[in-house]
């Protein structure tokens, strides 16, 4: 397949620095200006393309192996982590049985072009971390840093959109054994292109409490000279780790999340349906939706925040009830796009209290803005795509998906 002529399409102009990104791929080989290619561990060509869109529209990415059939993917490729202009992807080829074989996982690092004068986007196969290691998107994250020399000292977090090569570190935290508070920290440094393993220990005085059943839900990147990252259990708390420390054993620090809005409700199921956390403008922001279920009823959303690199406590932010939000008054055109809901007497409801909303996603650049969707989305960096202004093509068809024009509706609201 060539990448010129009628097949070539440029992505749209993304005015914001972040996009709402579906982390599961569509299987399609159509290219655009974001396309990059490489080869799998088996020698097959692989092509990755992004289809960015302005929020609250959803952005997608597609993967294709021109030498193979769509059925040769053991499962749909996924994005495991993203930071600034770097994306970590996982691809598994073969039969469904290949999913159980850890050495059959291929990892790739996609790096977006930096705009005018910068090289084109690239796709680089990542050295396999080893047959005994398998990562999931809930326990792996990316740290993007300034500088590129090994003797630069401890680098700081690279600002989004900054120029220069820099380097990145991939970090994964996994529970090591039955020893309380002991974890394995796996890191990959793009400067050395090697994996390293360290022991991460929780302080003994923190080994008791709710975090004894800590389950990673999301990874956040805080930054700083020590390269602080946080492994979050959205029901309970955060395990902070300085991934750039040179010690063979690195300490972990546990910080509990704010108390639930509804303390009588049992914390069970997937927390991503009703909660989110993100680092925004130097603060860690947490959001929770109370009394959430799939029954159309009034719900309450609240936010908290704390300084990212300082000690302190959670400070309450905004709190709002769905019954108080009127979409018709402020956004009459957008309100017409929402599902038409009526009460028991058949009267149209102009508020959101009876609308089935889920998966709150905090904006990374607008204060107190949250997106609600009907599926789990991740607010990811816009990858510094070239600033182009042509109309985007519709995303391709996902394997096994019968939607000819896939759409993922989202709502944008300010708390």
260-271 pLDDT tens trace: 887 777 777 788
pLDDT at 366 over 50: yes
71 belongs to a structural domain: yes
Same domain, 140 and 213: yes
The predicted structure's pLDDT at residue 65: 96
Least confident of 255-264, 342-351, 385-394: 385-394
pLDDT at 409 over 50: no
Measured between alpha carbons, how far is 330 from 262 in angstroms, rounded to an integer? 30
Tell me which DSSP letter residue 361 carries.
E
Last residue of a domain, one of 202, 225, 253: 253
Same domain, 113 and 187: no
What confidence tier does 386 reach under pLDDT thresholds 50, 70, 90?
A: very low
What confidence tier does 8 reach under pLDDT thresholds 50, 70, 90?
A: very low
Same domain, 243 and 267: no
The predicted structure's pLDDT at residue 99: 76
177 belongs to a structural domain: yes
Tell me which DSSP letter residue 24 carries.
B
Same domain, 208 and 233: yes
Strand spans (E) along 163-264:
167-175, 182-189, 194-202, 218-223, 228-233, 237-242, 249-256
Greater confidence (323 vs 113) lies with 113
**Cβ partners under 8 Å of residue 169, min gap 6:** 142, 143, 145, 187, 188, 189, 190, 227, 243, 244
pLDDT per position as a tens digit, 50-103: 998 888 788 899 999 999 998 899 989 999 999 888 999 999 998 887 777 777
Same domain, 111 and 191: no
316 belongs to a structural domain: yes
Measured between alpha carbons, how far is 90 from 85 in angstroms, rounded to an integer? 17
Q: How many CB atoms lie within 10 A of CB 370?
A: 23
Q: Which of 234, 231, 232 is nearest to 250 (CA)?
A: 231
Same domain, 161 and 120: no
377 belongs to a structural domain: no
Same domain, 45 and 109: yes
Split into its structural domains, the chain has a count of 3
The predicted structure's pLDDT at residue 355: 63
Starting at the earlier edge strand, list the strands of the sheet with 410-414: 358-362, 369-373, 410-414
Greater confidence (302 vs 269) lies with 302
Please provide the average confidence, as pLDDT, over all residues in the chain: 76
The predicted structure's pLDDT at residue 186: 94
Domain that residue 47 falls in: 1-134+382-397
Same domain, 145 and 94: no
pLDDT at 284 over 70: yes
DSSP codes joined into one string, 362-412:
E-SSSTTEEEEESS--EEEE-TT-----SPPPPPPPPTT---SS----EEE
Same domain, 238 and 270: no
Same domain, 128 and 159: no
Same domain, 97 and 150: no
- Residue found under tokens 């902070």: 240
Same domain, 13 and 65: yes
The predicted structure's pLDDT at residue 350: 52
Could you tell me the CA-to-CA distances from 207 to 1, 127, 203, 204, 260 in Å, in that order? 56, 34, 7, 5, 22
Least confident of 2-6, 88-92, 221-225: 2-6
408 belongs to a structural domain: no
263 belongs to a structural domain: yes
415 belongs to a structural domain: no
Element (H, E) at 414: strand 410-414
pLDDT at 232 over 70: yes
Q: How many CB atoms lie within 10 A of CB 38?
A: 17
Greater confidence (221 vs 17) lies with 221
407 belongs to a structural domain: no
The predicted structure's pLDDT at residue 399: 38
pLDDT at 365 over 80: no
What confidence tier does 380 reach under pLDDT thresholds 50, 70, 90?
A: low
């Amino acid at each position: 397949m060539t990448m010129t002529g009628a097949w070539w399409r440029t992505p749209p102009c993304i005015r914001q620095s972040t996009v709402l990104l579906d982390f599961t791929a569509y299987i399609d080989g159509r290219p655009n200006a974001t396309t990059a290619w490489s080869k799998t561990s088996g020698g097959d060509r692989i092509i990755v393309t992004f289809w960015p869109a302005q929020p609250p529209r959803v952005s997608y990415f597609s993967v294709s192996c021109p030498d193979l059939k769509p059925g040769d993917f053991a499962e749909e490729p996924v994005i495991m982590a993203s930071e600034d202009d770097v994306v970590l992807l996982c691809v598994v080829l073969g039969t469904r049985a290949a999913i159980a074989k850890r050495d059959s996982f291929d990892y790739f690092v996609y790096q977006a072009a930096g705009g005018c004068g910068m090289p084109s986007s690239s796709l680089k196969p990542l050295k396999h971390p080893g047959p005994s290691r398998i990562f999931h998107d809930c326990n792996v994250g990316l740290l993007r840093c300034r500088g590129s020399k090994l003797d630069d000292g401890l680098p700081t977090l690279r600002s989004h959109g900054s120029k220069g090569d820099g380097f990145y570190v991939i970090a994964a935290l996994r529970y090591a054994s039955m020893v309380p508070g002991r974890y394995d920290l796996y890191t990959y440094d793009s400067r050395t292109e090697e994996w390293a393993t360290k022991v991460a220990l929780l302080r003994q005085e923190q080994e008791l409490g709710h975090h004894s059943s800590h389950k990673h839900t999301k990874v956040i990147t805080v930054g700083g000279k020590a390269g602080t990252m946080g492994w979050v259990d959205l029901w309970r708390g955060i395990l902070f780790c300085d991934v750039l420390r040179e010690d063979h054993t690195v300490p972990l620090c546990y910080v509990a999340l704010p108390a639930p809005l509804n303390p009588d409700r049992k914390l069970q199921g997937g927390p991503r349906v009703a909660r989110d956390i993100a680092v925004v403008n130097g603060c860690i922001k947490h959001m929770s939706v109370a009394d959430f279920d799939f029954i159309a009823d009034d719900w309450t959303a609240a936010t908290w925040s704390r300084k990212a690199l300082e000690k302190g406590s959670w400070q309450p932010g905004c709190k709002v009830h769905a019954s108080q939000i009127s979409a018709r008054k402020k956004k009459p055109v957008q309100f017409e796009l929402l599902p038409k809901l009526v009460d028991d007497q058949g009267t149209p409801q102009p508020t959101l209290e009876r609308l089935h909303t889920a998966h709150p996603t905090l904006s990374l650049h607008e204060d107190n803005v949250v997106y609600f969707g009907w599926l789990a989305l991740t607010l990811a960096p816009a990858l510094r795509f070239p600033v182009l202004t042509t109309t985007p093509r519709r995303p391709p068809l996902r394997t096994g998906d019968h939607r000819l024009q896939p759409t993922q509706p989202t709502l944008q609201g300010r708390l």
